[in-house]
Structure 1
Amino acid sequence: MEFREINTFLLIAQQQSFSKAAKALGYSQAAVTIQIKQLEKELGVTLFDRIGKKISLTEQGSIFYRHALEIMRSVDQAREALTEKDELSGQLCLGTIESICASIFPELLAEYHRLYPQVAISIVTESPEELLERMNENKIDLVYLLDRRIYDQRWHKILEIPERNIFVASSAHELARADRELDLDEVLDFPFLLTEKNASYRYILEQYLAATDRTICPFLEIGNTEFIIQMLLKNMGISFLPEFTIRKELENHTLTELKVKEFHMQTWRQIFYHRDKWVTRQMQAFFELAEEWK
């Protein structure tokens, strides 16, 4: 039994596909099939049920999966122990949403790079659903997102911070100059610039409005938070954004929060990794830094 065969088995089980695992490993599908057949021969069991195009673990496969994870964790721990005195290097793949990538990541990752210049970082920006799916497929090391509180037995959560989501406009906007709390309908009458519909805070806003028989029809939709901020600074409308994305503009009074009567909406910044994922030194260093910069 070889570590290569065990690693291939784990990836097939996680991807539920021989072809996807082969592509991820850079092998041919025939080579992957041969490795699994050899592993099954050595163990004397069938590890996968193959019904049509669907792949699933057999009962024996599920038992071996738990032990295989422990084997590979032990190997990784041994490798880490031998190299832990060396300068941190290797790779780190982060999944996040655009608003966090634009507002939090620049300073956070600049500091990470200063501390660990030999680590190569890659970033994937997608919807929370897509990011979590990629994490389940072991294509992303960890996910940093903004959403409702999410709980799932498959994932470990290492950070959870509440964030306000607010209506905001240029300080020159007529509503910003109104020295009072505003009615929601009064705000909705103005042109809106919004993030794309897969942004969690926009979805939550639309659900809230739908529950009160209201709708919002933006004149501009874009997945780039920085572009929305620049349009707001030009007094081109109103937006609905997480407060942390515009903290600098609020502090220097170029943008103003529009306070709406009896309206409070909160989401949470959260960091997840898969429970079956061995936490690398690169991941652990990111977790510690994210906690400091929360």
Structure 2
Amino acid sequence: MDLKYLRTFRTIIDEGGFSKAAEKLNYTQSTITFQMNQLERDLSTILFEKIGRKMVLTKAGEHLIPYVDEILQSVDKLSFLDEHLSECQGDIQIGVGESLLCYKLPVILKEFHKQAPKARLFLRSMNCYDIRNELISGGLDLGVFYEDVGGFGSNLISKHLGDYPVVLVASPKIKSSYPDFVTPDRTIPIPLIINEPNCIFRQIFEQYCRDKSIILDHTIELWSIPTIKNLVKNDVGISFLPEFTVKEELSRGELEKIPTDISGTKITAICAHHKNKWISPLMQLFLNLCDSLTCDTGR
């Protein structure tokens, strides 16, 4: 049995289909099909069946998954037999929330590459809910995100990284015109500039507005926090963001905080992995480096 067939099988599961697995592995779809046919022949069982236009796992395929994971995990362990991290050539898949990736992780990533220069670190900027789901399904080794998404059950082991305040911010001009976000039952004719709907801090602020019956003009939905900040600085609207993302703009007077009844709200950052995940030396290095984040909580 060829080991690469097992890796292809696991990739099909992770990516959700043959075509996406082919794209991920840089194979043709016919290569994926050939490998799965060979694996089925080696195992004398049917792993996939065609339903409509989709290839779906059979019961035998579902039962194979934990055995494949065990084999691939053992192979990964063999790649780390060298005691020196500087010689490690393994891969590590990490999903990170965009705000944390932009403002909290660069120093950690720099040190990671310094200590393990031959490792391949695959970073994905992701929504926190997607990170949680990918960790539970085994698609990621580690996730750095906000635990406020919940829904972990007993599946994940998490490391507390810090509790960070979130603040409502505007340009000085906008704040002078609309300084009150405490009085209820109001319509305020400016837009909210914020991340996509599953963004944790967006959900907190939108719930606050619903509770207060505060209606904003509309929502401008963007992925990039630097872009959000630039629009807010230029009087386009307001935003509700982790304070560490606007620290410099606040200190320079380019942005100002607008008081709310949730001004003391904090969100909790964690680094998590699946409870059954083998902690490779590279994962342990990253977890250790994350300790530096716990030293600057709230700064």
Alignment TM-score, normalising by the size of structure 2: 0.75
Hey, what's the Cα distance between the residues in 1 that align with 2:288 and 2:237?
39
Hey, what's the Cα distance between the residues in 2 that align with 1:236 and 1:21?
42
Hey, what's the Cα distance between the residues in 2 that align with 1:27 and 1:231?
42
3-state SS, counterpart of residue 246 of structure 2 = helix
Hey, what's the Cα distance between the residues in 1 that align with 2:271 and 2:265?
20
Q: After superposition, where does 1:100-249 map in structure 2 within 5 Å?
A: 100-129=100-129, 131=131, 141-146=141-146, 148-152=148-152, 156-160=156-160, 161-169=162-170, 183-184=182-183, 189=188, 194-198=193-197, 199-217=199-217, 222-229=222-229, 238-247=238-247
3-state SS, counterpart of residue 293 of structure 1 = helix
CA-to-partner distance for each residue in 1:59-104, whole Å, 9 max, x for gaps?
22222211111111111112212x3335144554443333222211
3-state SS, counterpart of residue 159 of structure 2 = strand
Question: 1:271 maps to what in 2?
Answer: 271
Q: Read off the aligned partner of 1:215 and give its amino acid letter.
A: I
Question: 2:8 maps to what in 1?
Answer: 8
Question: 1:76 maps to what in 2?
Answer: 76
Q: Give 1:267 deviation, angstroms.
A: 2.7
Question: 2:297 maps to what in 1?
Answer: none
Hey, what's the Cα distance between the residues in 2 that align with 1:194 and 1:29?
41
Q: Give 1:134 deviation, angstroms.
A: 6.4
3-state SS, counterpart of residue 60 of structure 2 = helix
Hey, what's the Cα distance between the residues in 1 that align with 2:224 and 2:134?
22
Q: Read off the aligned partner of 1:13 and give its amino acid letter.
A: I
Per the alignment, do residues 219 and 70 of structure 1 end up closer, same or farther by CA in structure 2, a change over 3 Å counting? closer
3-state SS, counterpart of residue 271 of structure 2 = strand
Hey, what's the Cα distance between the residues in 2 that align with 1:46 and 1:213?
57
Per the alignment, do residues 262 and 201 of structure 1 end up closer, same or farther by CA in structure 2, a change over 3 Å counting? closer
The answer to whether 1:40 aligns with 2:33 is no
3-state SS, counterpart of residue 214 of structure 2 = coil
CA contact (8 A) 2:193 2:232 kept: no
3-state SS, counterpart of residue 27 of structure 2 = coil
Q: Give 1:170 deviation, angstroms.
A: 6.3
CA contact (8 A) 1:206 1:215 kept: no
Question: 2:285 maps to what in 1?
Answer: 285
Per the alignment, do residues 118 and 189 of structure 1 end up closer, same or farther by CA in structure 2, a change over 3 Å counting? same
Per the alignment, do residues 139 and 60 of structure 1 end up closer, same or farther by CA in structure 2, a change over 3 Å counting? closer
The answer to whether 1:21 aligns with 2:21 is yes
Hey, what's the Cα distance between the residues in 2 that align with 1:117 and 1:78?
19
3-state SS, counterpart of residue 217 of structure 2 = coil
- Further displaced range: 46-55 or 256-265: 256-265
Hey, what's the Cα distance between the residues in 1 that align with 2:23 and 2:202?
36
Alignment TM-score, normalising by the size of structure 1: 0.76
Hey, what's the Cα distance between the residues in 2 that align with 1:96 and 1:268?
14
Per the alignment, do residues 169 and 71 of structure 1 end up closer, same or farther by CA in structure 2, a change over 3 Å counting? same
3-state SS, counterpart of residue 151 of structure 1 = coil
CA contact (8 A) 1:13 1:56 kept: no
3-state SS, counterpart of residue 67 of structure 2 = helix
Structure 1 runs (4+) greater than 6 angstroms displaced: 133-139, 170-175, 231-237, 251-254
- Further displaced range: 148-157 or 281-290: 148-157
Hey, what's the Cα distance between the residues in 2 that align with 1:197 and 1:86?
38
Hey, what's the Cα distance between the residues in 2 that align with 1:30 and 1:215?
54
Hey, what's the Cα distance between the residues in 2 that align with 1:272 and 1:166?
25
Per the alignment, do residues 251 and 2 of structure 1 end up closer, same or farther by CA in structure 2, a change over 3 Å counting? same
CA-to-partner distance for each residue in 1:2-23, whole Å, 9 max, x for gaps?
2112112222233331222222
Q: Give 1:24 deviation, angstroms.
A: 1.8
- Further displaced range: 130-139 or 103-112: 130-139
3-state SS, counterpart of residue 56 of structure 1 = strand
Hey, what's the Cα distance between the residues in 2 that align with 1:222 and 1:105?
21
Q: After superposition, where does 1:86-97 map in structure 2 within 5 Å?
A: 87=86, 88-97=88-97
Per the alignment, do residues 48 and 277 of structure 1 end up closer, same or farther by CA in structure 2, a change over 3 Å counting? farther
3-state SS, counterpart of residue 216 of structure 2 = coil
CA contact (8 A) 1:168 1:238 kept: yes
Hey, what's the Cα distance between the residues in 1 that align with 2:55 and 2:155?
22
Hey, what's the Cα distance between the residues in 2 that align with 1:241 and 1:146?
13
Structure 1 unaligned regions, length at least 5:
none
Q: Read off the aligned partner of 2:30 and give its amino acid letter.
A: A
